[in-house]
Amino acid sequence: MKVREQWTSKIGFILAAAGSAIGLGAIWKFPYETGANGGSVFILLFILSTVLIGLPVLLAEFVIGRRGQADAVSGLKKQAPGKPWYLIGWSGFIFSFLILSFYSVVGGWVLSYLVRAITLQLSGLGDADFAELFGSIISSPLEVLIAQAAFMALTIWIVQGGIKGGIERASKIMMPALLVFFVVLMIRSLTLDGAMEGVRFMFVPDWSFFNFETALVALGQAFFSLSVGVAGMITYASYLKKSENLTRSAVSVVTLNIVISIMAGLIIFPAVFALDYLPDQGPGLVFIILPAIFDQLFMGQFLIIIFFILLLFATLTSSISMLEITVSIAVKNKYDRRRRLAFIIGLAIFVVGIPSALSFGVMSEPVFFGYTFFDFVDILTSRIGLPLGALFTSLFAGYVLSNKDAHNELTQQQSWVEVWRVLVRYVAPVAIIVVFINGIINIFS
C-alpha cells in the first residue's frame, strides 16, 4: 500500500463503525445489565444517555478523525501543533491494547462454545451441567490459551487486509449476517408460550428502579456500547471522504446500536421468562443460561449454533477496530508495514492477555486491590480509560476546535452545530466526570 486508504462506500464505513460499537457490549453486557437493573427503566435511561451524551461524543470523534486524515496521534498533532492533545491518541493506543488483551479472552470463550455447539456437545445438558461446563472451560489453561490465540489470529488476519480488503469487506459480510441471525432468533423467542412476560419486563416501567445508581449504570453502558473514549472512531473516521455527512453517519451508528441492543433483549428475556428463569443472572447469562434455554427449544441445537456465530461476528467486529487503532498509530504513513505490524502488535496483545486468560484457573488469586488480573484490566479500562478518553475528546471538540472548524466538518444547519457544541462543552463532560468518580469509588469500595 503506497497511499492512505479510504472507505469505498458510506455503508462500508457505517457498518464498520457500528460493528465496532455492536460487540459484547450489546449482546453480552446490555442484557445482563438490563436484567440486573429492572428492565424497562434501565433501557429508557440507556437510550437517553446514548442519544444525549453518547451521540455528541461519537460525533466529536468523527469530526476529529475526518479532519485529521491520519492516525489518532498524528491527526491531533496536526490540529493542535505544539500542544499535548495528541496524548488522546496515545491513550487510545494503550487502552485499546489493554481492552483487546482481555476482550480476546472472552472471544476465545465464544469460539470454544461455537466448536462445542457445532459438534453437538451442548445437547442434553442440565442447568447445573451448563454452569459446570462454563467453569471448566474458563479454568482450563490449555483451552483458554488456544482459543484466545485462535481469536487473535482471526482478528490479525482481517486487519492485515487493510481498510478496503480487510475491515470493510469483513464488516459488509458479518454485519448483515448478524442482523439476519438476530431476526431469526428474535422471532423464535417471541413465539414461545409465556414470552410476553419478557416483553413486559423490557417495556413496562417498574419505577422503583428509577434512581441515581441505575442512571449511572445506564450511562456507563452507553459509553461502553458505543466504543467511545479509545480513539476508535477517530481512527475509522480518518479514512472517510470529506464529502460524507458525519451527522447522518453518527446517527446511523447510534440507531443501529440501540436497535441491536433491544433486539438482543428481545431474544433473551422472552425466552428467560417463558422457561421460568430469572433475568438477573449477571455475566453468566449468555454462557450458562442461554445454552440451557436453547437446549429446551425445538431446533435448539441449530439455534445455539446460530447464536454463537452471531456472537463471534459481533465480537470480531469490535476486536478488529481495537487492533486497527494500535496498528494505524504504529504504521503512520508507512503503509507497506501494515501486515508485519498487525502481526507483531497482535502477538504482543496475546502475550499481555495471558494472565487474563488464566485468571479463572491457575492465576485466580486476586493481585490488584482484591481483583484478579482479568477483572483489574477490565475495571482499569472501562472505569478509567474510556471515561478519561471520552472526557478529553469532548473538551478538544468543544474548546479547541473553532466554530469555523466545526461548521466545515458539520455542514448541517447552524442551530444543530451550536446544540452539539453545547453538549460536548458542558453536558457530556459533567456526565463523564460523574461516571468516572463513581467508577473510582467502586474500585476501592
Per-residue pLDDT reduced to its tens digit, 344-369: 999 999 999 999 999 998 898 887 77
Residue bearing cell 504504529: 330
Average pLDDT score over residue span 17-34: 77
76-85: list long-range contacts, CB under 8 Å, 24+ apart. Answer: 76/396, 79/400, 79/401, 80/396, 80/400, 83/400, 85/392, 85/396, 85/400
Which amino acid, 93? F
Please, which contacts does 241-246 make with residues 24 or more away whose CB atoms are closer than 8 Å? 241/6, 241/7, 242/66, 244/10, 244/13, 244/66, 245/411, 245/412, 246/59, 246/62, 246/63, 246/66, 246/409, 246/410
Average pLDDT over residues 8-16: 83
Q: Report the pLDDT averaged over residues 197-217.
A: 88
- Complete domains list, the chain, with CATH: 10-442 (1.20.1740.10)
- Burial degree of 12 (CB within 10 A; 0-12, 13-18, 19+): buried
User: How does DSSP classify residue 26?
Assistant: I
Min mean pLDDT across 66-70, 139-143, 199-203, 282-286 is at: 282-286
Task: Pick 244 or 330 by higher pLDDT.
Answer: 330
* Mean model confidence pLDDT for the chain: 86
User: Is the per-residue pLDDT at 287 higher than 60?
Assistant: yes
Q: At what angle do helices 300-331 and 141-160 cross, to 10 degrees?
A: 60
What is the average per-residue pLDDT within 416-426?
90
> Is a pLDDT exceeding 80 seen at residue 22?
no
Q: Are the CB atoms for 442 and 378 separated by under 8 Å?
A: no
pLDDT value at residue 293: 73
| pLDDT at residue 35 greater than cutoff 50 | yes
pLDDT of residue 283: 59
Which range, of 21-25, 27-31, 333-337, averages the lowest pLDDT?
A: 21-25
Q: What is the mean pLDDT of residues 125-150?
A: 88
C-alpha 165/C-alpha 185 separation (Å) is 30
Q: What is the pLDDT of residue 282?
A: 58
pLDDT of residue 85: 95
**Phi-psi map region of 111: left, alpha, beta (phi>0 left; psi -120 to 50 alpha):** alpha
Amino acid 1: pLDDT: 44
Highest mean pLDDT among 124-138, 257-271, 430-444: 257-271
Measure the CA–CA gap between 281 and 296, rounded to whole angstroms. Answer: 18
Give the lowest-confidence range in 147-161, 191-205, 299-313, 341-355: 299-313
Highest mean pLDDT among 44-58, 275-289, 368-382: 44-58
pLDDT band, residue 290 (cuts 50/70/90): confident
Of these ranges, 122-131, 181-190, 201-210, the one predicted with the greatest mean pLDDT is: 201-210
Q: CB–CB of 219/431 below 8 Å?
A: yes
Is residue 175 over pLDDT 50?
yes
Tell me the pLDDT band of 281, cut-offs 50, 70 and 90: low
Beta bridge partners of 368: 371
How far, in whole angstroms, is CA 227 from its chain's centroid? 5
Confidence band of 218 (pLDDT split at 50, 70, 90): confident
Contact (CB, 8 A) for 89 and 404:
no
Sign of the Cα pseudo-torsion (234, 320, 4, 82, in order) = positive
What is the three-class DSSP state of 371?
strand
User: How far apart, in whole angstroms, are the C-alpha atoms of residue 54 and residue 220?
Assistant: 10
CA pair distance 194, 136, nearest whole angstrom: 32
The closest alpha carbon to 318, from 246, 230, 384, 220, belongs to: 230
- Find cell 457500528 and name the residue: 18
Mean pLDDT of 21-39: 79
22 close to 256: Cβ distance less than 8 angstroms: yes
The type of residue at 265 is G
Q: Is the confidence at residue 2, as pLDDT, over 60? A: no
Residue 329 confidence (pLDDT) above 80: yes
pLDDT at position 372 over 50: yes
pLDDT beyond 80 at 381: yes
Cell numbers given for 378? 477490565
| Beta pairing partners, 371 | 368
Asked whether residue 430 carries a pLDDT value surpassing 60, the answer given is: yes
Sign, CA dihedral 353-158-4-72, equals negative
Q: What is the pLDDT of residue 371?
A: 86
Q: Percent of the chain beyond pLDDT 70?
A: 96
